[in-house]
Structure 1
Amino acid sequence: MAAPKSSHSREAFWLDAWYQGRWWLWLLWPLSLLLRLLAGVRRRRLQKRATPFSAPVIVVGNITLGGTGKTPVIIALVRYLKAQGLRPGVISRGYGGSAPSYPYFVSATSPVSESGDEPLLIAMEADCPVMVGADRNASVQKLINEHQCNVILSDDGMQHYKLSRQWEICLLDGARLLGNGLCLPAGPLREGPERLQEVDCVIVNGSKQGVSVNGVEALPMSLQPTAWCNVQTGEQLPLDALPFAGDTVVNAVTGIGNPDRFYKTLQGLGIAVRGQSFPDHHAFHAEDLAYVGSRPLLMTAKDAVKCQSFAKPDWWYLSVEADLPAQFYDQFSEFLSKSGLVG
């Protein structure tokens, strides 16, 4: 059975236009300018209402649409904070999930249909309390009150200005950066490029060295593959032990914000792939992947948590870790020290 046409086509159309600089987008520039002005008014109004919590809040977000690698960074930061003897918790919007009530506590055994894919992956990989809900303030307070968290990481939420925050990390995709530099709908930006000058740290995912973005010195980051993991059993194999070596071209599927990054990572490992992209946070069902038949299938960890219940023996996901430079951890440690969290 042939692979179906990509369900990612609408998103891909706009992403291609924004990042390739299609001329007709300038027709939308007046609307972009209006939305940018309204966003500024909204920000100033909501920030006046933001009340700090007893625990500092660190936002890991972006100013662009499309995937930038926030989830692996969140997991890396949780592990680092735990190594410092702290009790981190994570809040998230929980896209793709529908919980019975909110704020909703996510554990490693929560149904992905209730938690959403990214919160469940964080709970599984980072082994820390995760709370999801549209009201991020309520999620923070619940983590503090019921789980004694003394530092909170917000997965996205940079534009959720009702949420008080003490440190902001903005991630950018190294290949896309700011695209055409315009705000929605004429471009991919949620806020103007000048917003980068206000955050505490800018990180470019996919860059091997620091770069200047809109006059801001950004730190490099890469996602390093660590192992192949069987979606069905959890078995792990080293990267050089390819369980699908007999296939000259291997099927790969994604439901993430930047599928090309995943495909290029696989190609960098010497694997020829036939990619099939679905929209970000797509709720996979067995029929979506029936075209694969009994052949091997590769996916991301984020997608694997949604496919585990119907996975076949030859379905594997690529485990990756965020490789952040020492300069970042120096800045992060300085913040923790100033916040009184570490000596």
Structure 2
Amino acid sequence: MLRAWYQSSPWLRLLRPLSVLYAAVASRRRQRFLSDPSLVWRAPVPVIVVGNITLGGTGKTPMCIWLICYLQSLGLRPGVISRGYGANKVVGFPHLIAPLIDQPGEVGDEPLLIARRCAVPVVIDPDRPAAARHLLANADVDVIISDDGLQHYALGRDVEILMLDAARGLGNARCLPEGPLREPARRLASVDLVVSNGLAADTAGTFAMQLAPTELVNLRSGERLAPQSWRAGREVEAIAGIGNPQRFFSTLEGLSLQPHGHAFPDHAQYTVDSFAACDPAKPLIMTEKDAIKCAGFARDNWWYLSIDASLGDAFVSALQQRLDGLPD
């Protein structure tokens, strides 16, 4: 369906009545929370929601990691809440991630990645207010970042950051099931900041975000190399289980490598047999999110590409302006 949505396939018009109904229900639901504050739980600290209105990857996790680093540079103590997509209910909700103990199949790949990489407290729970309360009760934080959750209106928020994919945009700009939107496109006008992942430069009302490769990390040894250290034109196997795998493969091509790409579903679970189609004689490069799930059976020539989000001064200024306007 993703391909049809983003290529505006004509047959999708057959689903328009359902799409119109979905949009109406989504709008009515949001309005219900806006008109009745008693339905909304507000945390005693600022809450920043990073979300999207489209299905498919938009770069929410890199944005959250950037936010964590930025807030820490201001002397703040951020914590993160997440649904924990793919988490095993056996761990129980809410659950404060133990980064050195928990496994991706138990708590979800993206929350574990954030907890390990940023060393900040991360709580998973599909109930966002419950996650926020648990975080505040069990960690010393003074600002909460909600990784996803734009549509979870029971959690009050002080700043909304809406993520887009520059290559895909809004697709055919229709709500589910005719299109990829979780809410009508007019929702963009109501958020605080709109960020487009892969946009070359800021435009009116939209800030550009680029994902910059920083280093290649060996899954077994931990060896770290500059991405440009391998010779140009080197053939590599590449796997990506993210919302937009082609973006990762294009990044490798931008490093002058020749990737043989293997796309997997977002949040895919792997075994060593998952990569049977890969040539074992060639280096295998994966995303950091995939590496979290493959470290236990990695081979000597398996690497992940570490990527950092890059945002311009205009975004930093706009974000800071909103943070300065929050009550103490």
Task: Give the aligned partner of residue 139 of structure 2.
Answer: 147
Q: Which amino acid aligns with 1:296?
A: P
Q: Distance in 1 between matches of 2:41 and 2:108?
A: 27
- Of 242, 246, 269, 1:260 maps to 246
Task: Give the aligned partner of residue 76 of structure 1.
Answer: 66
CA shift digits 1:125-181 (9 cap, x unpaired):
111000001111111011112212110000001011111111100010011111111
Q: Distance in 1 between matches of 2:138 and 2:235?
A: 49
Matched, 1:270 2:270: no
| 1:340 to partner: Cα distance | 4.6
Task: Give the aligned partner of residue 235 of structure 1.
Answer: 223
5 Å matches for 1:59-208? 59-98=49-88, 99-109=90-100, 110-208=102-200
Q: Distance in 1 between matches of 2:166 and 2:66?
A: 19
Contact 2:166 2:198 in 1 (8 A): yes
Q: Which amino acid aligns with 1:60?
A: V
CA-atom RMSD in angstroms:
1.5
Q: What secondary structure does 2:207 align onto?
A: strand
Task: Give the aligned partner of residue 53 of structure 1.
Answer: 43
Q: Which amino acid aligns with 1:275?
A: G
Tell me the TM-score normalised to structure 2 length: 0.95
Q: Distance in 2 between matches of 1:247 and 1:287?
A: 27
5 Å matches for 1:295-306? 295-306=282-293
Aligned-pair identity in percent equals 46
Q: Which amino acid aligns with 2:220?
A: Q
Contact 1:32 1:185 in 2 (8 A): yes
Q: Distance in 1 between matches of 2:232 and 2:24?
A: 56
Contact 2:236 2:283 in 1 (8 A): yes
Q: Distance in 2 between matches of 1:124 and 1:100?
A: 18
Tell me the TM-score normalised to structure 1 length: 0.91
Task: Give the aligned partner of residue 20 of structure 2.
Answer: 33
Q: Which amino acid aligns with 1:142?
A: H
| 1:102 to partner: Cα distance | 1.0
| 1:87 to partner: Cα distance | 1.0
Contact 2:233 2:258 in 1 (8 A): no
Q: Post-superposition, which runs of at least 4 consecutive aligned residues in structure 1 deviate over 4 A?
A: 245-248
Task: Give the aligned partner of residue 280 of structure 1.
Answer: 266
CA shift digits 1:212-253 (9 cap, x unpaired):
5xxxx10111000111011222221111222xx598431111
Q: Which amino acid aligns with 1:57?
A: V
Matched, 1:209 2:195: no
CA shift digits 1:283-338 (9 cap, x unpaired):
11111113323431111001100000001110111111100111111111122222
Q: Distance in 2 between matches of 1:250 and 1:271?
A: 7
Q: Which amino acid aligns with 2:29?
A: R
How many residue pairs match? The answer is 322
Q: Distance in 2 between matches of 1:169 and 1:24?
A: 33
| 1:211 to partner: Cα distance | 3.0
Q: Which amino acid aligns with 2:212?
A: Q
Task: Give the aligned partner of residue 9 of structure 1.
Answer: none
Q: Distance in 2 between matches of 1:38 and 1:319?
A: 40
